[in-house]
Chains A and B, each alone.
Chain A
Amino acid sequence: MESSIFLDEVNERQGLFQRRAFLLGGLAGGGLVALGGRLIQLQLIESDRYQLLSEHNQFQFVLSPPPRGLILDREGVVLASNRPDFRLLLAKDDTMDVEAVLANLARLVNLDEAHLQRLKDEIDDAPRKAPVAIVEDMTWEEFSRVNVRAPELPGVTADMGEVRVYPFSGAFAHVIGYVAKVSAQDVTKTGPNADPIMLNPGFRIGKQGVEKAFDLDLRGKAGARKVEVDVKGRVVRQDPRGDIPPTPGAPIRLTLDADVQTRALEVFGEDSGAAVMMDCRSGDILCMLSAPSFDANQFVKGLTRGEYKALAEYDRKPLFNKALTATYPPGSTFKTMVSLAALGHGFDPGRVYVCNRAWSWGGRVWHCDKAHGALNMHDAIRQSCDIYFYQAALTVGPDAIAATARQFGLGEAHDIGIPGQKPGLVPDSDYKRRAFPRDPVWHAGETPSLGIGQGYVSVNALQLCVMASRLANGVTALRPRLVQSIGDVAQPSGAQAPVLTIPRAHIEFVQSAMAAVVASGTAAHYGDIGLGPVKMAGKTGTAQSHNYTGGGAGAHGAQGAWALRDHAWFIAFAPHDDPRYAMSVLVEHGGFGAEAAAPKAAQIMRVALLKDPQVRARITQPMPTGLPPQMSGSAAGGAGPGAPT
């Protein structure tokens, strides 16, 4: 391959090369011009569109959960509020090794094995890119420790949320309920247009009581934060100017009184039961307690299986709202209704029956707990004589008794805004016809039981409190009211209600008999509230327990095993001569009503009375002069330890 040295040969190759090199240069230039053209198209002509796309990439709107509305008592004491919550969110993507991240995390914060397992399940279930709250309620030290190590924990972000807190923990657990994490069912139940905030990590909705019933009011409306994110969705910067502030949830003011309610919880101690108190002029519910209770804050955090099991299996049923959901025979408290029905049918209250502890009628023997001798209706109520009321009931029959009882609020579910109420039952001949097709007739033999509040009749504690408050009011068929206002909207007062058709004189007769119950009757001493001239009126009741098969030893089955004893009732109002507060107290398996329930009613009633300035004025009037003036105002003397006992 000798290199040619002929000039023409050289020139031929050179000429060809030069022509083609120019061509090549032209082609390259053309290519570059084409690129320039594309640049013009992208950067000059379509630039607006791409700027928009770039912003879509760069910015995201992150829902910011609204602060949940406060729940207040009638005086503005906070019953449910929010506190800051330092937490960690994990947003998973396809490339993430969840196990490794959690293992890394476990070295920085406290994560036990059970917690880790639950987290893995939650993360697996979470939709792609939806962050999961993996640790909540971190201490500030843990929070800052994780923040510093953030680069080693891809996909993990620390943020500050809010979490519900119930400062009274157990006292209001049944009424107010609690919030808990949104379950998959909660979302599907809401339908196709579920509030997107429900999917926010750590978001909680009301699951019980007021929190559930007024969830939408309390929840408010989610806002949005404009944030700059990187390709992994991590927030790089905030842009506060683009924020849409959330609308906070409306505060809900209840009619409950924190002092009365906490005192009621104290009074019950370990006992199981319920206490409901109403203002018998307005219908406001001041106290609605179910005991024993549970710490609602635990539910906010999420119970472990063991914790839940312990609560669910405890035989005093702390999770059960005994004020609304449980119905029991009203026992002797029902004698007030029988009395009014009889009086309405021309029964002479002076009529005397003789009680010999046993009474034969209809082919069987009816018992009383002792031989009361000859008594009229007033004394029969005072002494709670069963034999008197067997016969009084027979004179009017079930339908009249039922009609009276219904007028006093028994047998109906009262709309106080929260779910889970059982209506109970007020039986009459019509009920017999409907419920017992094979034996559709009310037999006379069934009436005596009704006369002492046993048999088919069943009530809940709220209904008995409504009955007591209507008895105490004497004029209006008061409606119970639990919610005073939602946001700025006041709820209708319970006093705007129909007038009772019972003659005022009949009610005053029963009222005075109830005053006698406490003064010298079955609740003497037990119902003493120790407030001088201000006294309580009441009526005891003992309801045979469903478990009680006659085997309970001793009077009223008060001595046997706890689960076999009778339920104790007490209804009351005070002051007896100028009623302001009415209440019902149930002590499950408490035995004799006077002994178990009346003292509790007295203790709880005292708090309400001492908070009432007018009642206080009556009590403090006879104080000798010269002593420093009593602290005025209501809250000071309330449930405090300094209150006279």
Chain B
Amino acid sequence: MTASAISRPGERDRLIVKLGQIDWLLCLLLSAIAGIGAVMLYSIAGGSWSPWAGRHLILYGVCFALMIAMATVDLRVWFAMAYPVYGLGLLMLAAVAVVGHSTMGAQRWLDVGPIRIQPSEFIKVGLVMALARFYHGLSADRARWSWWLLIPAALIGAPAALVAHQPDLGTAVLIAATGGVMMILAGLSLRAVGVGLLAMGAGVPLAFAFVLKAYQRARLLTFLHPEADRSGAGYHIIQSEIALGSGGLLGKGLGLGTQSQLNFLPEKSTDFIFASMAEELGFLGCATVLALYAAVIVVTLRAAVISHSHFGRLSAAGVAITFALCVLINGAMVMGLAPVVGVPMPLLSFGGTVMITMMAGFALVLSVRVHRYSEVTSGKGAFV
């Protein structure tokens, strides 16, 4: 396909052309990560497709097909859907606070018929879309520093507060951080960024003392001195570090990770899947996966940079931010550099909602890339 063909009017709207424009490298990278995840889930189940690996692969396959399909959806449709999706997510979060299903002392789930939805995941994509939608129509001056910024602040603050209330501190921080970084990308004045960072430096100790619950404080403190509490909160960190460290350069081999196979590793299929992998595949395996993650981030940011619309730029970057934060927070947690919070390793960890969210996000990224030349105008979208 030549550039001239692409530039022919109407040509770009043909499905076959759109499919050709899809970033297959990104698809390959994502599939590689999910595939490694499936292998690990197969291994830690003692060489069995159940209970995790099979479902992981099937879900990924379904999500992948949907992602390709959604990638062909015109960016203007995404644009038009931004606020409704965000609004729905916020509603569900509010519903969770009222009638949510509680596990492990936190209300995070919403039962919709047979499906169980975790709205805190859903809102991640919703927030990215909503912020991109808002900034798309905001001038650079106003994005730098103006009263208009109260709107994105509210867009970020509402879901973050609701999620923190569940309480799911990790996801709340993730949502707030994603929103904050998007504001910076959209052109927030660097002075304001500096002041904000200073305020955080002052506010975090206060929040620590007055807002957090006892178990959250314990978790936060424990990661600094895991040895002080070998049987409680520190146990997870110690066992995870042992799993990582004992893997060495080449790992113990698939199916031979004693830390995971003998259940010394907590949450081995979800939050600590990276530690399971580190134990069995060693440093080489870990470095490979981190490189894959880095490649995903680079490819996604590239899609953002080459997009002609501000909505496209910001939404693709927002997905990259969410993804990168997930990887960094989970990685730091598993390696004993951050407190234990419930943030999974994207695509590697087992878990339905997280996978759906991430794949929806990458559908948006692919769409941004496919429609990178599209002009998106406010109020004149395909639907509105």
Residues of chain B with a CB closer than 8 A to A1's CB: 137-138, 378
Q: Which residue in A9, A46, A57 is a CB contact (below 8 Å) of B262?
A: A57
Residues of chain A with a CB closer than 8 A to B324's CB: 28, 31
Q: Given A39-B244, A43-B244, A43-B282, verify A25-B249 contact (CB < 8 Å).
A: no
Q: Given A39-B287, A57-B264, verify A47-B249 contact (CB < 8 Å).
A: yes
* Residue B171 is within 8 A (CB to CB) of chain A in the complex: no
CB distance from A15 to the nearest CB of B (A): 9
Q: Which residue in A42, A44, A229, A230 is a CB contact (below 8 Å) of B335?
A: A42
CB distance from B127 to the nearest CB of A (A): 17
Which chain B residues (321-372) contact chain A, with CB distance < 8 Å?
A: 321, 324, 327-328, 331-332, 335-337
Which chain B residues (213-272) contact chain A, with CB distance < 8 Å?
A: 239, 241-249, 258-259, 262-264
Residues of chain A with a CB closer than 8 A to B328's CB: 28, 31-32, 35
- How far is it, in angstroms, between the C-alpha of A53 and the C-alpha of B247 when the chains are bound? 12
* Residue B108 is within 8 A (CB to CB) of chain A in the complex: no
Q: Are B137 and A3 in contact (CB under 8 A)?
A: yes
Residues of chain A with a CB closer than 8 A to B331's CB: 32, 35
* Residue B304 is within 8 A (CB to CB) of chain A in the complex: yes
* Residue B317 is within 8 A (CB to CB) of chain A in the complex: yes
Residues of chain A with a CB closer than 8 A to B185's CB: 17, 20-21, 24
- How far is it, in angstroms, between the C-alpha of A71 and the C-alpha of B245 when the chains are bound? 53
Name the CB-closest residue of A to B148. Answer: A1
* Residue B313 is within 8 A (CB to CB) of chain A in the complex: yes
Q: Are A12 and B140 in contact (CB under 8 A)?
A: yes
Residues of chain B with a CB closer than 8 A to A10's CB: 310
Q: Are B143 and A13 in contact (CB under 8 A)?
A: yes
Q: Are B287 and A36 in contact (CB under 8 A)?
A: yes
Q: Are A32 and B301 in contact (CB under 8 A)?
A: no
Q: Which residue in B264, B290, B313 is a CB contact (below 8 Å) of A32?
A: B290
Residues of chain A with a CB closer than 8 A to B314's CB: 17
Residues of chain B with a CB closer than 8 A to A43's CB: 244-245, 247-249, 278, 282-283, 286
Residues of chain A with a CB closer than 8 A to B136's CB: 3
Tally the A-B contacts, defined by beta carbons under 8 Å.
151
Q: Given A12-B140, A49-B245, verify A32-B327 contact (CB < 8 Å).
A: yes
CB distance from A173 to the nearest CB of B (A): 47
Q: Are A28 and B262 in contact (CB under 8 A)?
A: no
Which chain B residues (275-291) contact chain A, with CB distance < 8 Å?
A: 278, 282-283, 286-287, 290
Name the CB-closest residue of A to B310. Answer: A13
- How far is it, in angstroms, between the C-alpha of A10 and the C-alpha of B301 when the chains are bound? 19
The number of residues on chain B lying at the interface, defined by a beta carbon within 8 Å of a beta carbon of chain A, is 55
Q: Which residue in B242, B287, B337, B378 is a CB contact (below 8 Å) of A54?
A: B242
Q: Are A20 and B184 in contact (CB under 8 A)?
A: yes
* Residue A58 is within 8 A (CB to CB) of chain B in the complex: yes
Residues of chain B with a CB closer than 8 A to A34's CB: 337
Name the CB-closest residue of B to A4. Answer: B139
* Residue B176 is within 8 A (CB to CB) of chain A in the complex: no
- B243, B262, B328, B332 interface centre (most CB from chain A within 10 Å): B262
Residues of chain B with a CB closer than 8 A to A2's CB: 137, 378
Q: Are B278 and A9 in contact (CB under 8 A)?
A: no
* Residue A631 is within 8 A (CB to CB) of chain B in the complex: no
Instruction: Identify the stretch in B16-24, B156-164, B200-208, B292-300 within 8 Å (CB) of chain A at 4 or more residues.
Output: B292-300
* Residue A310 is within 8 A (CB to CB) of chain B in the complex: no
Residues of chain A with a CB closer than 8 A to B123's CB: none
Residues of chain B with a CB closer than 8 A to A32's CB: 290, 293-294, 297, 327-328, 331
* Residue A118 is within 8 A (CB to CB) of chain B in the complex: no
Q: Given A17-B186, A44-B249, verify A54-B282 contact (CB < 8 Å).
A: no
Which chain A residues (28-78) contact chain B, with CB distance < 8 Å?
A: 28-29, 31-32, 34-36, 38-40, 42-44, 46-47, 49-51, 53-54, 57-58
* Residue A232 is within 8 A (CB to CB) of chain B in the complex: yes
Q: Given A25-B298, A51-B246, A57-B259, verify A17-B313 contact (CB < 8 Å).
A: yes
Name the CB-closest residue of A to B250. Answer: A43
- How far is it, in angstroms, between the C-alpha of A231 and the C-alpha of B235 when the chains are bound? 12
Which chain B residues (177-211) contact chain A, with CB distance < 8 Å?
A: 181, 184-187
Residues of chain A with a CB closer than 8 A to B50's CB: none
- How far is it, in angstroms, between the C-alpha of A40 and the C-alpha of B287 when the chains are bound? 9
* Residue A489 is within 8 A (CB to CB) of chain B in the complex: no
* Residue B212 is within 8 A (CB to CB) of chain A in the complex: no
Q: Given A47-B248, A50-B241, verify A57-B258 contact (CB < 8 Å).
A: yes
CB distance from B191 to the nearest CB of A (A): 14
CB distance from B297 to the nearest CB of A (A): 5
- How far is it, in angstroms, between the C-alpha of A35 and the C-alpha of B275 when the chains are bound? 13
* Residue B305 is within 8 A (CB to CB) of chain A in the complex: yes
* Residue B377 is within 8 A (CB to CB) of chain A in the complex: yes
* Residue A18 is within 8 A (CB to CB) of chain B in the complex: yes
Q: Which residue in B186, B239, B246, B335 is a CB contact (below 8 Å) of A39?
A: B335
CB distance from A292 to the nearest CB of B (A): 55
Name the CB-closest residue of B to A28. Answer: B324
10 tightest A-B CB contacts, nearest first: A50-B245, A54-B246, A230-B262, A43-B283, A28-B324, A1-B137, A47-B248, A231-B263, A58-B258, A35-B331
User: What residues make up the interface of B, taking CB atoms closer than 8 Å to A?
Assistant: 136-140, 143, 181, 184-187, 239, 241-249, 258-259, 262-264, 278, 282-283, 286-287, 290, 293-294, 297-298, 301, 304-305, 310, 313-314, 317, 320-321, 324, 327-328, 331-332, 335-337, 377-378
Q: List 14 A-B contacts (CB under 8 A).
A: A16-B140, A16-B187, A17-B304, A28-B320, A31-B324, A35-B290, A35-B331, A36-B286, A36-B290, A38-B336, A50-B246, A54-B243, A54-B246, A58-B259
Known: A1-B378, A21-B304, A236-B262. 6 other contacts (CB 8 A): A2-B378, A16-B140, A24-B317, A29-B294, A44-B283, A46-B245
